[in-house]
Amino acid sequence: MSQTANLRIAAIALTALLSACSALKDSDEGNTGFFQCKSPRPEMCTREYRPVCGHIDTRIESKVRCVTEPCPSGKHQTFGNSCSACANPAVMGYEEGSCESYGK
């Protein structure tokens, strides 16, 4: 095989690899608002910083429920990216951007 053919194959493989990486984002790309975490939950995430505001179900997060006073069933927390937010089993979903940007 010639060197030119090897370079073409390498270029095609690199293009396929890069497009596969960009396809890992949620299928809701282009939508704004709330993104629901999908199953299976991620076990490893990149350290890319694209902050999201995670919506946490406090009933899942804490094993103990208060009985004497009303307890909020949810809270918000900023995560470094959507993968790290959805890796937390108590997170129901997220909005892009930090919680502070939403006033939460």
Q: Provide the residue-wise pLDDT of the chain in tens; the chain has 104 residues.
A: 677 766 666 656 655 544 443 333 444 444 569 999 999 999 999 999 999 999 998 877 666 556 666 666 789 999 999 999 999 999 999 999 999 988 87
Cis geometry, peptide bond prior to residue 40 (ω within 30 degrees of 0): yes
Tell me the CA distances in angstroms from 33 to 26, 53, 73, 94, one per residue in order: 13, 11, 20, 8
Q: How far apart are CA 93 and CA 41, in angstroms?
A: 11
71, 58 Cβ separation under 8 angstroms: yes
Sign of CA dihedral 40, 44, 49, 52: positive
**Distance of alpha carbon 91 from the chain centroid:** 10
